[in-house]
Amino acid sequence: MPKVTVDGIEVEVPAGSNVLQACEAAGKEIPRFCYHERLSVAGNCRMCLVEIEKAPPKPFASCAYPVNDGMVVHTDTPMVKAARRGVMEFLLINHPLDCPICDQGGECDLQDQAVGYGGDHSRYHEAKRAVVNPDLGPLVKTIMTRCIHCTRCIRFSTEIAGVPEMGATARGESMAVGTYIEKALSSELSGNLIDICPVGALTSKPYAFVARPWELKKTDSIDVLDAVGANIRVDTRGAEVLRILPRLNEDVNEEWLGDKSRFALDGLKRRRLDTPWVRQNGKLVRTSWPEAFAAIEAKLAGVAGDRVGAVAGDLCDAESMLALKDVMASLGSHNLDCRQDGASLDASRRDFYCFNTSIAAIEEADALLIVGSNPRHEAPLINARIRKRVLAGKFPVGLIGAEADLTYKVAHLGTSAADLAGLLEGTHEFAATLHNAKRPMIIVGLGALRGDDGAAVLAACWKLASATGMLTSEWHGFNVLHTAAARVGALDLGFATGKKLAQMMNGGVEVLWLLGADEFDTSKISSNTFVIYQGHHGDRGAARADVILPGSAYTEKNGTYVSTEGRVQRGELAVFPPGEAKEDWKILRAFSAMIQKPLPYDTIEALRVRLEQVNPIFATLDVLPRFGCGDLTGPAGDATALSSTPFLPVVANYYMTDPISRASATMAACTEAHAPAHAVAAE
Amino acid sequence: MTELSAPDRTEPTSFVFDNESNAAIAVAVAKYPAGKQASAVLPLLDIVQRQMARHTGSAWVPLVSMDAIAERLDMPPIRVYEIATFYLMFNTKPIGRVHLQVCGTTPCWLRGSDEVAKACRDFTGIKGYGETSEDGLFTLTEVECLGGCVNAPILQVDDDYYEDMNGERTLALLEALRRGERPSRGSTIGRANSAPEGGPMTLLTTPAE
């Protein structure tokens, strides 16, 4: 590894590093606008200039200059300072002096670096240029006069998002960054443009003129609008969630976040359940907590335990699901289901329902088969990781399912479970691709498991995995891609026992407790069933409910979530739930006391101890050890009973998949903007 | 030749390469290795601009044609837009039938390009660079150095250089162009290529044997 001396500090950096990285290794901060670790090097902002000994006597752009062994770099010589001041002066020539009305203010790279390298006044007295703002859709606001042409957004959309729609048109003084033709960016990752823009050219449209960064309280949390478990930061002021930003986690979301997770937050303020309701004479009327509990207690009297059931929704935290499970057990019921979509998931072994390879290890795989999934819509961040691997080269991807643009090249191998047969028999050419790969992987989407032959598809996929060398002692290439943040946690807690949802709906139970369950047709629940809905939004579940218990959304409670990879993560309470609403586990604890069967925990800490007792996996917070597969025995199911009914997409409209995003005006605007692509499939 | 008529300058809603273009595209694409066909985007833009001139009389590159190029070369449309708007030789808006390009760079300017430009404006009624005359025949633009400084000033008409111009000869040229004629290109004062004015100035004698 080359040794480099930066300002007298000797550092060793990996071969192929650039001078900027060497300076960072030596603890020297190098100002930059265009350089970004995850994007290709452009070298066009010229802010990162340094001086290098025994090289031509001129400043070098450190981001675009490779290190050599024995190189001596200076970052604080008069020449470097003068050069950077000169670059800054040029950048500011055409940059408007509108910081007081700019949403980037307070978190602007240009503002910060101008403090270090800018002059106290401008020597430029000529007219500044002005640029027309392109309309990039409902999420990204453009004020292109502020653009300094770093081209980060162009490189992001081309390289990471895989939608090459942004570019720099014209030249010189007329150069403008945009899409040239008016169109909304067709990416699920477009919100990240706001984060990578170093100035206020691309800002958040819904967040425009809302708050200054220093007014916000920042709370670490976990995203629940898909099953990736992206790490987020919730920015709040008072009782309001104002914005959601990604948090760095190299193993999960890197530093990106999907648009739904970032922008659906206005849904947290609309259609909220803020008080208990009870149905009287067919109409829901507002009531108090004791009366709501009394109504449930009265209904439960005399009902056999087996005639009671519970369904956990897609956004639930593990704590509330466990509390509900314990309440059900105290009532003598083990009718629990978390599979609202009716997916055939085998909970007998953890690696039958997890994304075992792990998201980060996608980069180590060398072949991929996707079955019944559209990762671009079901988990945009996992799709971005697959694209990253595809761009690295030699990564064949096969797809069985509805044809879709996944932003990378895919070999379309079929549309239904029956198309797996050719791969299983080894007659299809892609079977050889998988066989020859050293670390092949398969992603089974819920679209493949929701049909009547779901169990067969799961068994067939496992069989294919074991036959093509996906399951070895150090590599586990079998993956189930979930769309619900609560699903893996629910399965870990054993929330799939007794009567299934379909049975419960058809009169299998007299009392049905829905914990945030909105993703099935609640109007088909037998009219004789007494439905309790505990949740935060007035959505499908609440519409059918006889008693409504107002719960809290994910930003309003301390909760544990298990992502599709099986990673246990914890989100913190950022704001308190509105009105009378309470944290969900507390509601269940209070109810248990009301019916004289109190749950054995009074604090969330005690509840978490109980979580660990039920499944020790809940003790391993954040970390996810790598594992192989020692037992090749597959999930139950007849691997040959594969139907030729085409797999249907799980996510018909990426922007609306849950009660929060369905209540969001921003998501409605996105649905509208992308109507040609989504409207046909909309429910 | 008959007098020039105004070209069709409406925005097309579709674009199809004609046979002549297809033949030229095959030649252009074949110059690059397989998988690198996007390198042929510059020749293709030129081919399109010439096809538009043949079919409509206006040499320009409409948006639909850029999309057609992107599809033919398997590249994102924005990459074609970037290139077409970067090079001033591609007109992204319709122009007149005759494209007058006055070189305004220093040598031509020192030798009287202002006079050439004025003659163009006076004859066509165009007020400023980038505009098209009311009859739709002429578009006037200012271009950077055409590399013909030795015969400055230069007026480029479509593909042809007219050299050693002045106001008077510019007016005569424009008259001829309007009549539908194309005077022979090159120096307008009769010198051969860039040889000295009035015949050879050096090496007038042959050395004795």
Look over chain B and give the mean of its residue pLDDT values, rounded to a whole number.
94
Q: Strand A231-237: give its sheet, edge to edge.
A: A217-222, A231-237, A240-246
pLDDT class for A231, splitting at 50, 70, 90?
Answer: very high
- Contact across the interface for A168 and B82, Cβ inside 8 Å: yes
Nearest to B86 among A164, A166, A170 (CB): A170
- Of all residues in chain B, the percent with pLDDT exceeding 70 is 100
Q: Strand B138-143: give its sheet, edge to edge.
A: B131-132, B138-143, B98-103, B155-157, B160-163, B186-187
- Contact across the interface for B86 and A167, Cβ inside 8 Å: no
- Contact across the interface for B78 and A171, Cβ inside 8 Å: no
Provide the shortest C-alpha distance from residue A35 to chain B (in Å): 21
- Neighbour count for residue A43 (Cβ, 10 Å): 16
pLDDT at A682 over 70: no
**Block residue for tokens 């290529």:** B193
- H helix or E strand, kind and range, residue B85: helix B77-86
Residues in CB range of B176: below 8 A, 6 or more apart: B182, B183
Task: Name the residue among A136, A249, A120 with its Cα closest to residue A194.
Answer: A136
As a whole number, mean pLDDT of residues B5-26 equals 93
CA A185 – CA A383 distance, rounded (Å):
17
pLDDT at B206 over 90: no
Q: Does A132 contact chain B (CB < 8 Å)?
A: no
CA A81 – CA A110 distance, rounded (Å):
16
As a whole number, mean pLDDT of residues B85-112 equals 95
- pLDDT of A676 reads 52
Rounded to 5°, angle at Cα A213 from A209 and A219: 120
pLDDT at B4 over 90: no
Mutate to test the interface with A, among B11, B82, B88 (most CBs of A within 10 A): B82
- Neighbour count for residue A116 (Cβ, 10 Å): 12
Tokens linked to A683 = 């429910």
pLDDT class for A675, splitting at 50, 70, 90?
Answer: low
- Contact across the interface for A167 and B82, Cβ inside 8 Å: yes
pLDDT at B209 over 80: no
**Block residue for tokens 């359940």:** A273
Give, in words, the CATH class of B98-187. Answer: alpha beta
3-state SS, residue A232: strand
- Contact across the interface for A181 and B81, Cβ inside 8 Å: yes
Rounded to 5°, angle at Cα B19 from B18 and B22: 85
Buried-state track A70-102, b at ≥16 Cβ within 10 A, e below 16? ebebbbeeeebeebbeebbbebbebbeeebeeb
Domain assignments of chain B as residue spans, ordered by start: 19-86, 98-187
CA B207 – CA A291 distance, rounded (Å):
124
Q: Does A170 contact chain B (CB < 8 Å)?
A: yes
Please provide the size of chain A in residues: 683
Task: Name the residue among A199, A128, A127, A143 with its Cα closest to residue A176.
Answer: A143
Identity of the amino acid at A73: V
- pLDDT of A333 reads 95
Tokens linked to A627 = 């594992």
Helix axes of B41-56 and B77-86: crossing angle, nearest 10 degrees: 70
Task: Name the residue among A465, A452, A470, A505 with its Cα closest to residue A642.
Answer: A452
Provide the shortest C-alpha distance from residue B81 to chain A (in Å): 7
Q: Is A7 left (phi over 0), alpha (psi -120 to 50) or beta?
A: left
pLDDT class for A635, splitting at 50, 70, 90?
Answer: very high
**Block residue for tokens 């602007």:** A108
Rounded to 5°, angle at Cα B132 from B130 and B138: 110
Residues in CB range of A364: below 8 A, 6 or more apart: A439
- Contact across the interface for A166 and B78, Cβ inside 8 Å: yes
Higher pLDDT, B209 or A466: A466
Q: Does A169 contact chain B (CB < 8 Å)?
A: yes
- φ, ψ of residue A37 to 5 degrees: the values are -55, -35
Q: Does B85 contact chain A (CB < 8 Å)?
A: yes
End-to-end CA distance of chain A: 57
Does A78 sit behind a cis peptide bond, omega within 30 degrees of 0 on the bond before it?
no
Q: Does A405 contact chain B (CB < 8 Å)?
A: no
- pLDDT of B1 reads 55
Give the residue from chain A lying closest to B79, CA to CA: A167
Give the residue from chain B lying closest to A173, CA to CA: B86
CA A355 – CA A445 distance, rounded (Å):
10
3-state SS, residue B163: strand
Provide the shortest C-alpha distance from residue A167 to chain B (in Å): 6
pLDDT class for B174, splitting at 50, 70, 90?
Answer: very high
- pLDDT of A224 reads 97
pLDDT class for A86, splitting at 50, 70, 90?
Answer: very high
Residues in CB range of A590: below 8 A, 6 or more apart: A289, A293, A582
Q: Does B64 contact chain A (CB < 8 Å)?
A: no
Q: Does A168 contact chain B (CB < 8 Å)?
A: yes
Q: Which residues of B touch A181 (CB under 8 A)?
A: 63, 77, 81
Q: Which residues of B touch A169 (CB under 8 A)?
A: 81-82, 85-86
Nearest to A179 among B63, B78, B85 (CB): B78
pLDDT in tens, B116-152: 999 999 999 999 999 999 999 999 999 999 999 999 9
- pLDDT of B60 reads 96
pLDDT at B2 over 80: no
Quick check: A212 and A222 in contact, CB under 8 A? no
Mutate to test the interface with B, among A174, A177, A179, A181 (most CBs of B within 10 A): A181
CA A183 – CA A161 distance, rounded (Å):
16
- Contact across the interface for A164 and B63, Cβ inside 8 Å: no
pLDDT at A622 over 60: yes
Quick check: A315 and A489 in contact, CB under 8 A? no
pLDDT in tens, A457-514: 999 999 999 999 999 999 999 999 999 999 999 999 999 999 999 999 999 999 999 9
Among the residues of A164-310, which ranges form H helices?
192-196, 259-263, 289-300
Task: Name the residue among A51, A46, A99, A100 with its Cα closest to residue A75.
Answer: A51
pLDDT in tens, A375-415: 999 999 999 999 999 999 999 999 999 999 999 999 999 99
Buried-state track A349-382, b at ≥16 Cβ within 10 A, e below 16? eebbbbbbbbbbbbeebbbbbbbbbbbbbbbbbb
C-alpha A145, offset from chain centre = 32
Bridge partners of A12, per DSSP, are A3
Interstrand relation of A71-74 and A3-6 (parallel, antiparallel or unpaired): parallel
Task: Name the residue among A575, A513, A507 with its Cα closest to residue A548.
Answer: A513
pLDDT at A683 over 50: no
As a whole number, mean pLDDT of residues A655-673 equals 95
pLDDT class for A256, splitting at 50, 70, 90?
Answer: very high
CA B122 – CA B78 distance, rounded (Å):
39
Tokens linked to A350 = 């953890």
As a whole number, mean pLDDT of residues A50-65 equals 94
- Of all residues in chain A, the percent with pLDDT exceeding 90 is 94
Provide the shortest C-alpha distance from residue B10 to chain A (in Å): 18
CA A201 – CA A680 distance, rounded (Å):
34
- Contact across the interface for B76 and A171, Cβ inside 8 Å: no
Q: Does A181 contact chain B (CB < 8 Å)?
A: yes
Mutate to test the interface with B, among A157, A165, A169, A405 (most CBs of B within 10 A): A169
Residues in CB range of A3: below 8 A, 6 or more apart: A10, A11, A12, A69, A70
pLDDT in tens, B47-79: 999 999 999 999 999 999 999 999 999 999 999
- φ, ψ of residue A203 to 5 degrees: the values are -130, 175
Helix axes of A78-93 and A109-117: crossing angle, nearest 10 degrees: 130
Residues in CB range of B4: below 8 A, 6 or more apart: B97, B98, B137, B177, B178, B179, B180
Buried-state track A503-522, b at ≥16 Cβ within 10 A, e below 16? ebbeebbbbbbbbbbbbbeb
Look over chain A and give the mean of its residue pLDDT values, rounded to a whole number.
94
Give contacts of A 146-165 with B, CB under 8 A: 158, 164-165
- Contact across the interface for B81 and A166, Cβ inside 8 Å: no
